[in-house]
Amino acid sequence: MKRSFMTVVVAAAVAGTAVVGIGVAQARTTDRPVPVAFRPGLTATLQADADALRKYGAPGVLAELDTARGDVRVRSGYGNVDARTPVPWNAKFRIGSYTKTFVAATMLQLVGERKLSLDDTVERFLPGPIRGNGNDGRKITVRQLLQHTSGLPEYFMGVTDSDTAEGFLKTRLRTYTDADLVKLSLQFPSEFPPGSKWDYSNTNYVVAGMIIKKVTGHSWQQEVRTRIVEPLRLRDTSLPGTTPTIPRPHAVGYQRFPGPGGTPEDPRYGEPIDATVLNPSMADAAGEIISTTDDANRFLRALLGGKVLKRAQLAEMLRTVETSDRLTTRFPGGRYGLGIVWAQNSCGGYWTHGGDIPGFMTRNGVTPDGSRSVTVSINTDSLQPDPGVQLPTVDVATDLIDHALCGAR
């Protein structure tokens, strides 16, 4: 089934951009380099990796490695291309589908409290709305939602009026409810019988957010905030709801759209636009959160370090299933757990869940013991490489993440 451009953008982008800038980057006057007192060789390697991302079309890059011995931060390019200013060291950015890891952890806390079971059906909590075109909440379990094995179709296939620059600018402040997004999904037939295959669909996490609200009486945003953000002191992480702006400081988020004759597979991108301002209700529990490299790393290290979930629930989260060529090509050995991906690297393997949303691309990785974590933010998710440069078949941040997690200890 053909997927719209916006589906590819928010779900798991495979393309990206060189940018001619517009907009105003937000930066504090106190923005200054972060001193690095250890591992100068590793720092130089990560800096080279960040610089290399620019040839793939990254206007600006910010990356941070967190370890028990200290942090390493590098940046390259521009947070504002016109002003030729760098990405702020403490920049806030939209994390896109990395939101799913927060939502899955919240659901698993509820499982640990016996307020729901992974084997409960969707229908138990949401009687009626998940039906139509072969989609049936009576046959879909909570586990299958979090695992992307439900067969629910991608709701972004119905958001076709944002597939052009003109359409995006016209609709980017539109508010969607979770019911709106589910309705968009159910106009399409089920992708496959629940549990029989794997396919990434943002709809799964919209429904998961609805279940959190039904079980707790609070929005998924409130539950994530009180269960994860506040206990871990993620002071620069926010759940904006319908607020379209990003707290300062932040880079400009650039977005290119397919030009005449372009397709998601062969975009033939036009000139970039400033996509920083965006009503994130279009992403909901599938991709709404705003964070920083420091907060994003802190959550990953706490999660794998056993500080977020009980042992049984963390084990469930890390129990993976086979995925598809689309994922395993970009992330060798890729298998999906519950809101988290296992991938292979040069020192064995790591856990990850990136995210793409108009204007921003987030990539990350954490060692299995939670001792090292790296987060990469790029201020576009529509990469267009320099002339003569081909995008790699693996994810563009693969080398940086590998060097961060597997470099000198």
For residue 259, name the pLDDT band (cuts at 50, 70, 90). Answer: confident
Q: Say which range, 28-37, 84-93, 233-242, 363-372, has the weakest mean pLDDT.
A: 28-37
Check residue 19 and give its pLDDT: 31
Across the range 144-155, mean pLDDT stands at 98
**208-253 pLDDT per residue, tens:** 999 999 999 999 999 999 999 999 999 999 999 999 999 999 999 9
Q: Say which range, 8-22, 240-254, 339-353, 370-384, has the weakest mean pLDDT.
A: 8-22
Output helix, strand, coil percentages for the chain, rounded to the nearest 5: 35, 15, 50
Check residue 321 and give its pLDDT: 97
For residue 113, name the pLDDT band (cuts at 50, 70, 90). Answer: very high
Percent pLDDT > 70 in the chain is 88
Check residue 397 and give its pLDDT: 97
Domain that holds residue 25: 5-406
Contact assessment for residue 86 and residue 78, using Cβ atoms and an 8 Å cutoff: yes
Check residue 255 and give its pLDDT: 96
Across the range 21-50, mean pLDDT stands at 63
Number of Cβ within a 10 Å radius of residue 408 = 10
* End-to-end C-alpha distance for the chain, whole angstroms: 45
Check residue 32 and give its pLDDT: 57
For residue 326, name the pLDDT band (cuts at 50, 70, 90). Answer: confident
Q: Say which range, 86-95, 123-132, 203-212, 384-393, has the weakest mean pLDDT.
A: 384-393
pTM, rounded to two decimals: 0.91
Which of 134, 117, 114 has the alpha carbon at shortest distance from 125?
117
Check residue 34 and give its pLDDT: 53
How many structural domains are present in the chain?
1
Paired sense of beta strands 135-136 and 131-132, if any: antiparallel
Instruction: Give the three-class secondary structure for 204.
Output: helix
Q: What angle do CA 25, 21, 86 make, to 5 degrees?
A: 45
Q: Is the pLDDT of residue 5 over 50?
A: no
pLDDT: is 40 or 304 the higher one? 304
Which residues touch 23 (CB under 8 Å, ≥6 apart)? Answer: 80, 82, 252, 254, 274, 276
**355-400 pLDDT per residue, tens:** 999 999 999 999 999 999 999 999 999 999 999 999 999 999 999 9
Which residues touch 188 (CB under 8 Å, ≥6 apart)? Answer: 1, 133, 153, 154, 157, 158
Check residue 163 and give its pLDDT: 85
Give the CATH number, domain containing residue 46. 3.40.710.10
Check residue 23 and give its pLDDT: 32
For residue 286, name the pLDDT band (cuts at 50, 70, 90). Answer: very high
Contact assessment for residue 23 and residue 252, using Cβ atoms and an 8 Å cutoff: yes
| Distance of alpha carbon 46 from alpha carbon 51, whole angstroms | 9
Percent pLDDT > 90 in the chain is 83
Across the range 81-105, mean pLDDT stands at 98
| Distance of alpha carbon 260 from alpha carbon 31, whole angstroms | 40
Q: Supply 235's token pair.
A: 């002071």
Q: Is the pLDDT of residue 127 over 70?
A: yes
Q: Whole-number mean pLDDT of the chain?
A: 90
